[in-house]
């Protein structure tokens, strides 16, 4: 899915930013699900009825947070930041930043699922139908609006940038 692919109507930076938006949605949704305490979740003595379930939920949130972190670094690179900027932002050397995120960047540019091979129907949907995926995220953002103003009706899809055609 490199910039030279005429079938890809959106810029690589747009697709990378959309991947960040999806990763942030995933973290938010997983974390939000951990807030309620169900009536049957705790025993009368306050112990958990299902040992390990809360820890498993937290592990899912942490995994999603790492995917967000990685997607953000890939976006910065695809949008033009060099390894020095990425490293400086994270408080590490350019080489350490490159060591940490280069495989993820290559996977993004080649259109694969990621360095850890995490497959997801949503990631495939995002890659194949970015506008439809962005509209799904529009709906999610608007459903979870908490007094945010100025988001408009297309808070995600409204920011997508299409690739310029030759001669434009």
Q: What pLDDT shows up at residue 150?
A: 77
Q: What pLDDT shows up at residue 2?
A: 41
Beta bridge partners of 48: 42
Q: What pLDDT shows up at residue 165?
A: 66
For the chain, which residues score pLDDT lower than 70? 1-8, 112-123, 148-149, 165-168
Angle of helix 12-33 relative to helix 53-78, nearest 10 degrees, comes to 160
Q: For residues 101-132, b (16+ Cβ closer than 10 Å) or e, as one string?
A: beebbebbbeeeebeeeeeeeebeebbeebee
Q: What pLDDT shows up at residue 131?
A: 86
Q: What pLDDT shows up at residue 166?
A: 59
Q: How far is CA 113 from the centre of its chain?
A: 12
Q: The pTM is what?
A: 0.81
The phi, psi pair for 156, rounded to 5°, reads -110, -60
Residue by residue, DSSP assigns 25-57 as HHHHHHHHHTS---TTTB-TTS-BSSTTHHHHH
Q: Could you tell me which residues come within 8 angstroms of residue 31 by beta carbon, excluding any fewer than 6 positions away?
A: 61
The residues spanned by each domain of the chain are 12-36+47-144
Q: What pLDDT shows up at residue 151?
A: 79
């Amino acid at each position: 899915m490199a910039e030279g692919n005429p079938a890809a109507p959106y810029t690589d930076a747009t697709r990378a930013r959309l991947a960040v938006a999806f990763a942030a949605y995933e973290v938010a949704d997983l974390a939000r699900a951990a807030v309620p305490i169900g009536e049957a979740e705790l025993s009368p003595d306050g112990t958990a009825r299902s040992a390990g379930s809360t820890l498993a939920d937290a592990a899912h949130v942490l995994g999603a947070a790492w995917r967000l972190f990685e997607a953000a670094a890939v976006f910065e690179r695809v949008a033009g930041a060099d390894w020095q900027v990425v490293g400086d932002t994270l408080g590490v050397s350019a080489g350490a930043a490159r060591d940490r995120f280069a495989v993820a960047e290559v996977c993004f540019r080649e259109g694969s699922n990621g360095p850890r091979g995490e497959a997801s129907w949503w990631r495939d949907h995002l890659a194949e139908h970015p506008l439809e995926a962005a509209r799904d995220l529009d709906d999610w953002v608007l459903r979870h609006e908490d007094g945010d103003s100025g988001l408009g009706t297309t808070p995600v899809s409204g920011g997508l940038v299409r690739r310029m055609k030759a001669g434009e």
